[in-house]
Amino acid sequence: MSRRVKRPLRPAADRAKGARPKGARPHRGSAAERGPAHRPGGKPVVRLGDKQRAPKPFVPEPEKHVAEPPPLPTKVQTVVVTADENNMRVDRFLEARFPGLSFSHIQRIVRKGELRVNGKRADSKDRLEEGQSVRIPPLKLDTPKAAASLSEAAKKTLQDLKDMILFEDADVMVLNKPAGLAVQGGSGITRNVDDMLEVMRDAKGQKPRLVHRLDRETSGCLLIAKTRFAATALTGSFRHRSARKIYWALVAGVPKPKQGRISTYLAKEESEEDSIMRIAAHGDEGASHAVTYYAVVETSATKLAWVSLKPVTGRTHQLRAHMAHIDHAIVGDPKYFNKENWQLPGGLQNRLHLLARRIVIPHPRGGVIDATAPLPPHMLQSWNLLGLEADRFDPIENAPEE
């Protein structure tokens, strides 16, 4: 379910006062209407909405002022990392500066050492610092493919992509990425969204571009820019945290309190076999601050809980690491599930129960994009077996934006 609304994005509390849009979950009253809640012998519970700050209204630029970004540079140039780009990964820095680049082209120039940071070779995962000089080699778009020359396999790929579409217009697509499909290529990955998008090149040779990512086993809303103009605008929205993302997960146990904020530092820990995000201390090498709001929507006795999650930051594996950190790991998580002697209830599949449920982001040409993804088959099966009601009011709607 998705829609593009020609009005500024308003807080969920304000939207609840008006008519309920088609397909929306029923509003069950504000905290004031329900009255204060208390835990026996404890302090009053602070509802997520109590400290909410209304986001600044999005004021779109008039369409007549919209212009495509300049073409990619054909000569070597040196650019300086700005304050907004501080701590960005090298590959994401290139995507933000030059949205026309494909993932494979970025990896190629980095691997060959053509890109230099302060005169030294850099890895695509290295993080940049404000003021650093980045040498950019000549860049080019991949050669366009004629639509008429699509093979049978390419036509099937195109249909697979169309079947995933939740929202689409001339600038943007939101895909319902299935669990198990990788977003980008890598070791052992034979099929991924980025490569699949090759079949959607337009007459100018422009390929739709990824503007954010989901883990391979996470299903749900994946935002795609169809034009360079949209890629630049949407990447900026993510960088400035104008995008609102909501995830659903099934976790072990029931978090207490039932609504809360998780704030830690996360750093990547590499091993010969794998890499994970560990909880780190402020000042640790490679550590980045990560903030997540969570709310319990419904429970299955004390064994399992359906939680709604709102990440404020966008760190790798943030939600998975954070839920494991508070001892309520996401069911089916092969990396972070840390409950010893914990038995999966009968009938539930041992797959990651994490859905990118909803994304709300300013549209590059005005209004907002608001797309919602359904439960994937394995999570829908679990919801049915546990008797969870997928249309319940989602309390994370009222969580703060910071």
CATH code assigned at 359? 3.30.2350.10
pLDDT in tens, 22-72: 444 444 444 444 444 444 444 444 445 444 444 444 444 444 444 455 566
Does residue 15 lie in a domain region?
no
The helix or strand, by DSSP H or E, that contains position 176, with its residue range, turns out to be strand 172-177
Q: Is 274 a catalytic residue?
A: no
pLDDT in tens, 212-243: 999 999 999 999 999 888 998 999 999 888 89
Catalytic residue among 171, 194, 215, 370, which?
215
- Residue 8 burial class via C-beta count within 10 angstroms: exposed 0-12, middle 13-18, buried 19 and up: middle
* pTM reported for the whole predicted model: 0.68
Does residue 40 lie in a domain region?
no
C-alpha 292/C-alpha 290 separation (Å) is: 7
Q: How many domains does the chain have?
A: 2
Does residue 65 lie in a domain region?
no
311/272 same-domain check: yes
- CA-to-CA dists, residue 126 to 88, 89, 225, 278, angstroms: 8, 5, 25, 18
Reported confidence tier of residue 100, pLDDT bands at 50, 70, 90: low
C-alpha 389/C-alpha 387 separation (Å) is: 6
C-alpha 225/C-alpha 264 separation (Å) is: 31
Q: Which domain holds residue 216?
A: 148-402
243/352 same-domain check: yes
In terms of DSSP H, where are the helices of 98-244?
103-111, 152-164, 193-196, 228-239
| Lookup: tokens for 376 | 């994937």
82/190 same-domain check: no
- Cis peptide leading into 374, omega within 30 of 0? no
- Residue pair 194/387 in contact (Cβ under 8 Å)? The answer is no
119/227 same-domain check: no
Q: Taking 80 as the threshold, does the pLDDT of residue 385 lie above it?
A: yes
| Lookup: tokens for 202 | 């337009």
Reported confidence tier of residue 141, pLDDT bands at 50, 70, 90: low
- Residue pair 331/250 in contact (Cβ under 8 Å)? The answer is yes
For every residue of 292-351, DSSP letters joined together read EEEEEEEEETTTEEEEEEEESS--TTHHHHHHHHTT-PBTT-TTT---TTPPPPTT--SS
pLDDT in tens, 258-282: 999 999 999 998 877 788 999 999 9
